[in-house]
Amino acid sequence: MGHPITDEVVTFIFFFLSYMLFISTESTQPPFSCDSSNSVTNSFPFCNNSLPIPQRVHDLVSRLTLDEKILQLVNAAPEIPRLGISAYEWWSEGLHGVSRHGKGTLFNGTIKAATMFPQIILTASTFDENLWYRIAQAIGKEARAVYNAGQLKGMTLWAPNINIFRDPRWGRGQETPGEDPMMVGKYGVAYVRGLQGDSFEGGKLQDGHLQASACCKHFIAQDLDNWYNFSRYTFDAHVMKQDLADSYEPPFKSCVEQGKASSLMCAYNLVNGIPNCANFDLLTTTAREQWGFQGYIVSDCDAVAIMHTHQGYAKEPEDAVAATLRAGMDVNCGSYLKSYTKSALEKQKVKESDIDRALHNLFSIRMRLGLFNGDPKKLEYGDISSVEVCSQEHRALALEAARNGIVLLKNSAKLLPLSKIKTTSLAVIGPKANDSEVLLGNYEGYPCKNVTLLQGLQEYVKNTTYHPGCNFVNCTSAAIDEAVDIAKKADYVVLIMGLDQTLEREKLDRTELGLPGMQESLITAIVQAAPKPVILVLMCGGPVDVSFAKENQNIGAILWVGYPGEGGATALAEILFGEHNPGGKLPVTWYPKEFNKISMTDMRMRPLSSTGYPGRTYRFYNGPKVFEFGYGLSYTDYSYAFVSVNQDKLHFKNLKVNKATENGSALSIDVSDVGSEVCNNAMIAVKVAVKNQGEMAGKHPLLLFLRHSSTMDEIPRKTLIGFKSVNLEARESTHIAFDVKPCEHFTRANRYGSLVIDEGKYFLLVGDKEYPVTVFG
């Protein structure tokens, strides 16, 4: 017989089970305020969700003590038990999937992973707004699921990164949608709408409720991290009004005005002597007053502290706190506001009303997220469960993005696609070919499934031999003889070369543009020994100069795969063996090594012929290129023709025309002088015929450019004004319509930052076809 169960044992078991239940509940319960079962807090007006949010926020803020207010001004906002207000972590990341970075996300419960989409630079190369939107939708839905499971401490995700990819050496360029301001802006709009729960066209969130909150960053002109002796923490970007108006600001303007982003992040750097987070004209005058921004502004992490500790802009810590709060910043990623706001008040450097304004913006977002309406599991978005995370639909979407993003840069003698039947063996050579983590890029999470590029190819050719070729990606040592020996014995050789996060990332910019270390020597040796032309696969975020490979006849094909995410291995294999037709187009210019002579700190976009400065990005750069912006091949050929253009002469009559000046600027019309009726009447309806001339179905983006006949430095060489994704069967044709708006698409900024339309002859460009349009003043 066993021992009898005593009362003490029963009591112990009861409390133990109760404790375990508490722990279980605690770990799965998402943080929220205004618990309906709490009779005390439930009576507060700020818990009454039938009242307007501004009224609720005003009531909440009025109940806070000064110390409670101050503690809410940092990313790790503590709970306020007496008011039933939960703790909240503002810092979570979701650049291309729910990320393991930031302070808010924990993959330590039932959810261990999330769908990892391609790094943004590759997704951008699809030029597919609807795809961008659907990816952001999926990220927002998975974030809600992680939150509902109690593993996400806030629903504010600090993405997207919409700084333009100004310099090819920037380590974080991989996070951006590329170098074109209009395209980057459209990506930002699609991402924000998708993540926040809006419709693709916008306008669905009339009640202001959010699935998740998106944050457009880094505001503004931050595109240098750590280059030689220059650091993002202290770099003072000297930006002309002209470049600010038509290069650096437009993506953020679109993100706010069209996307209705609920957050902006002010960047570390200074612009023209003023730290971004202390710039009233930027945060308040421009973002809130001119663009109508409604949301919260967060500092980049420790950006407030470095104004005092690194930049010397603030003499005392309290000066940094006061400068940022007065400028319009609302929350500090870091602890500086927690430590020094009270003393700033005591020294009369800041007012309590500045704090109250910040708190109003912060609590408004938490209420818009539904986090002050009781148990979120019983509310809108409460039924989004863990089955949404790593769902088959989302993983298929990650594969679709990788497939459609990969860019075919060379395909001599139609080497690709390879035959699945006739290819008897493969040699796969490259230091990261059998590494799955490299596929993710930075700001990554834990993928649903890890598959390396090697494993993806082995699914098609069982007789596949692998050799890393180099010791590391930087390739300080190469086993050339061993790699060559393997290459000689294979039917085809696939070289997987490029970069990884040890060579380009946050806090690390590149100092050269070629392939690292001995990679080029390794490639050249293998190419000479291989029995057939080889296939070179480039894995990198920023562009690399591979002119040697472009010109080498024994390198039959080159593909750029970016960092293609968890679906990248399957996507590459499908493309190599003809199950998918590549259609991606480069979202950045690929510069030659000589561009390295240009200082990364030079923020000028336009060339200066008198000094030989070549300018930046396809819009202004006048030097040699390895590959152009918008370049990308296919396994089929497409032809284009302008079917109709409803008007080709635009008259802006009775308007003041800016005369040509001594430095040779163009005759131009100030857009602010053109009324909406004139602008609407000037709209051009363009119809383009596209035909798939080949034998293989394909999807690719149709890019519509505009070029002015003038070759003046200040006028863009050409500008992307529209893009649409086209899916055609073999021999199929279709018509694609564009609405060209001259008051938007024909504009550039003059030296004073005003938008103008230049007089003269323009050309609409699609492929190798052009159509003239003339502007008269």
- H or E stretch covering 538: strand 534-539
The answer to whether residues 285 and 322 touch, using CB atoms and an 8 Å cutoff, is: no
Cross-strand bridge partners of residue 765: 705, 770
- 488: helix, coil or strand? helix
**Which residue intervals of 232-351 are DSSP H helices?**
241-243, 250-257, 280, 303-309, 317-327, 336-346
Q: How many CB atoms lie within 10 A of CB 284?
A: 17
**Spatial contact of 171 and 508, defined as CB atoms under 8 Å apart:** yes
Q: Return the ∠ at Cα 235 (arms to 233 and 240), rounded to 5°.
A: 140
Other C-beta atoms within 10 Å of 548: how many? 14
CA distances from 57 to 34, 44, 52, 54 (A): 13, 11, 9, 5
726 neighbors 702 (Cβ within 8 angstroms): yes
- Is 670 labeled as catalytic in the residue annotation? no
Active-site hit among 167, 225, 300, 435? 300
Backbone torsions φ then ψ of 411, nearest 5 degrees: -155, 70
Query: 655: which 2 tokens?
Result: 């308007």
Helix or strand run (H / E) with residue 573: helix 568-576
79 exposure class (CB count in 10 Å sphere: 0-12, 13-18, 19+): middle
d(CA 141, CA 164) in angstroms, rounded, equals: 27
The rounded distance, in Å, linking the Cα atoms of 733 and 622 is 35
| SS3 assignment, position 256 | helix
Beta strands in 177-314 (DSSP E): 213-219, 226-227, 230-231, 236-237, 263-266, 270-271, 274-275, 296-299
Read out DSSP for 663-685?
Answer: T-PPPEEEGGGS-HHHHHHT-EE
Q: How far apart are the first and last CA of the chain?
A: 105
Cα–Cα dist 517/474, whole Å: 5
Written as six digits, the tokens of 162 are: 């919409």
The residue type at 755 = L
Stretch (H or E) spanning 322: helix 317-327
Contact 406, 576 (CB under 8 A): no
Neighbours of 369 (CB within 10 A): 25
Burial 724-737 (b: 16+ CB within 10 A, else e): bbbebeeeeeeebe
Tallying the residues shown for the chain, one arrives at 777
Q: Which residues carry out catalysis?
A: 300
